[in-house]
Amino acid sequence: MFVSASDLHVLNTVLPEETFNSFKEYYAPEKPVAEQLAIYIKNLVRFDLGSSFYYKMPVAEIIAGRIGWTLLLSFVSISISALLGIPMGLNAARRGGRGGKYLLSCFMALQSLPVFVLAIVFQLLFCFKFHIFPSGGAYTLGMNANIIDLSVDVVKHSVLPVIILVLVELPPIFSLTYNVCARTKEEPYVEMARYFNLSDRLIKFKYVLKNSLPEILSKMNIQFLYAISGILFVEVVFSYPGIGTLLKVAASSRDYPLLQGILLITGFYGVVINLIFELIIKKVNPRF
């Protein structure tokens, strides 16, 4: 975010003087754009993302305090979805017939539901009607307990958001695995394995899954990136203290340094995820 001198008057009328001075010191709007860019890159190297207008704190500290909760929901939900979706898709593709196509149709219908609608419905049912799960937050505020009780409380607050995210992330993983494995099982080397009367288990795992896994993994990294967008909606509905709730506050309060910091960290997350999956694919199958 680069600022021109004409923007300073507007900012100065809506921001407290102390906040405006910290903004001016960080972005140096009176200098040329090229020099502003150099200063900004220098600050990024030092992990300095500026100061938040709303929280009156460094953006890096605010994001660091929230990103752990988002990563918790992200990795737990996507891991559960992969552990369920890949075996289900593999088995459905191996059996074929109407059963696999019927299951695929059910998952596609589930995938069409907006995640925020699903979150609101689950919250109304399981939080406000049946009182099974907490309605919001990541833990009980003011709770004075040992580490075990606190961990149980955190798990209890995260169960419903994780279930919703799994329901959203499972259909695309299942459909991807089903389609890739259904195509792989028709390959000549799989037909030859059946001709030599190899066991179904060996054919399923060594011939179908092993040769389908690189393609599945190469597209699953996209699911990791899409998972973040779903998590943002779920966090807002359940007031979960992650990046999604923080993004809502930043957007509603026009906290541009915080918005910029969140988008920067989200983009960096995407680069890291792509790199990790690239290394995993090379490990699974060096030919790719």
Q: Does any domain span residue 50? A: no
**In this structure, what token pair is assigned to residue 151?**
């961990």
Q: Does any domain span residue 73? A: yes
Q: Does any domain span residue 54? A: no
Count of alpha carbons within 13 angstroms of residue 24, beta-carbon side: 16
Q: Does any domain span residue 241? A: yes
Q: Which amino acid is at 186?
A: E
Instruction: Look at residues 113, 5, 62 and name the one whose alpha carbon lies nearest to residue 260.
Output: 62
Residues 6+ apart with CB under 8 A from 66: 241, 242, 243, 245, 246
pLDDT for the residue 9:
45
Between CA 29 and CA 37 the distance in angstroms is 10
pLDDT for the residue 124:
94
Between CA 224 and CA 277 the distance in angstroms is 10
Are both 108 and 184 inside the same structural domain? yes
pLDDT by residue, tens only, the chain of 288 residues: 555 544 544 455 556 667 667 777 776 777 888 888 888 888 888 888 888 888 888 899 999 999 999 989 988 998 999 999 999 999 988 877 677 778 888 888 888 888 889 999 999 999 999 989 998 889 888 777 678 888 899 999 999 999 999 999 899 899 999 999 999 988 998 888 888 888 888 988 889 988 898 888 887 877 777 777 778 889 999 999 999 889 888 988 888 889 999 989 988 888 888 888 888 888 877 665
Are both 18 and 129 inside the same structural domain? no
Q: Does any domain span residue 189? A: yes
pTM (2 d.p.): 0.83
pLDDT for the residue 256:
85
Are both 101 and 231 inside the same structural domain? yes
Are both 132 and 197 inside the same structural domain? yes
Q: What is the 3-state secondary structure (H, E, C) of 207-253?
A: HHHHHHHHHHHHHHHHHHHHHHHHHHHHHHHCCCCCHHHHHHHHHHC
Give strand pairing partners of 167.
none
**In this structure, what token pair is assigned to residue 252?**
């509603």
**In this structure, what token pair is assigned to residue 154?**
């955190």
Range of the domain at 13: 5-45
Q: Is 56 exposed, middle or buried (0-12, 13-18, 19+ CB in 10 A)?
A: exposed
Q: Does any domain span residue 60? A: no
Are both 108 and 175 inside the same structural domain? yes
Q: Does any domain span residue 63? A: no
Are both 186 and 238 inside the same structural domain? yes
Are both 167 and 37 inside the same structural domain? no
Q: Provide the number of structural domains found in the chain.
A: 2
Are both 37 and 120 inside the same structural domain? no
Q: Does any domain span residue 154? A: yes
Are both 75 and 128 inside the same structural domain? yes
Task: Say what angle helices 59-95 and 256-284 make with each other, to 10 degrees.
Answer: 40
pLDDT for the residue 1:
52
Are both 141 and 26 inside the same structural domain? no
Helices (H), 185-203: 188-195, 200-202
Are both 36 and 102 inside the same structural domain? no
DSSP state of 174: H
pLDDT for the residue 286:
65
Query: The domain that contains 227 carries what CATH number?
Result: 1.10.3720.10
Instruction: Look at residues 30, 42, 29 and name the one whose alpha carbon lies nearest to residue 2.
Output: 29
| DSSP one-letter string for 94-110 | HH-HHHHHHHHHHHHHH
Are both 30 and 140 inside the same structural domain? no
